[in-house]
Amino acid sequence: MLSEKTLQALNKQIALEGNASASYLAMASWCERQGLNGCATFFYDQSAEERMHMMKIIHYVNEMDGHAVISAQGQPKGEYDSVQELFKAVYLQEKSVTSAIYELLSISNKENDHSTTLFLQWYVAEQREEEAQIRTILDKIKLIGTGGQSLYFIDQEVQNINALRGQEEAEAEEGIA
């Protein structure tokens, strides 16, 4: 059974993951309107992934005899001045989610909630990967610069990341099957 403090923190994380999913969906739409199809695909996939993160927490809370609360989401930002601004916003968002996961982990440790501590370990590893991936994209954006053809090359680099991610997911599924 979850303590009230842990339950509140998990429900807060459900909202945070839902907001991240909506935010990525808005970013995907912006990219698609800009003709950045590689970036749009990346953000559509990120949105689905964040929703899956939210769903995992919902199921965990309910499994632990808690009550998962689904809160309303605010309107995500839908306009950006540049792809550089967009990815900087993504990085800040991921850092915020990481901080929230760490706070949740601290709460579960203080509450001696070993089950939740174990459950959260997957999120710790996932956030490390998410932040590293966004830092890689930001580094590539910095290298490519802001010249006339930069958007094309940025979109191609993100499309390469999409392909690599798809390949890794396929290999992981083969290992499970």
Q: What is the pLDDT of residues 153-177, one digit of tens each?
A: 899 989 988 888 888 878 878 876 5
Known binding positions for Fe cation: 17, 50, 53, 94, 127
27 to 24, 34, 86, 131: CA distances (angstroms): 5, 11, 7, 17
Q: What is the CATH number of the domain that holds 26?
A: 1.20.1260.10
Count structural domains, the chain: 1
> Domain of 76?
4-176
pLDDT value at 148 more than 80: no
**Nearest-angstrom CA–CA distance, 4 and 123:** 21
30 to 6, 36, 55, 86, 140: CA distances (angstroms): 36, 9, 25, 9, 20
Is 66 in contact with 12 (CB distance < 8 Å)?
no
Closest of 97, 165, 83 to residue 131, by C-alpha: 97
pLDDT for the residue 177? 58
Question: Which helix (H) or strand (E) element contains residue 146?
Answer: none
Burial class (CB in 10 A: 0-12, 13-18, 19+), 36: buried
**Nearest-angstrom CA–CA distance, 97 and 87:** 15
Mean pLDDT of the chain: 93
| pTM, entire model | 0.90
User: Which two tokens mark 121?
Assistant: 């370990």
pLDDT for the residue 175? 77
Known binding positions: 17, 50, 53, 94, 127
Span 86-107, pLDDT tens digits: 999 999 999 999 999 999 999 9
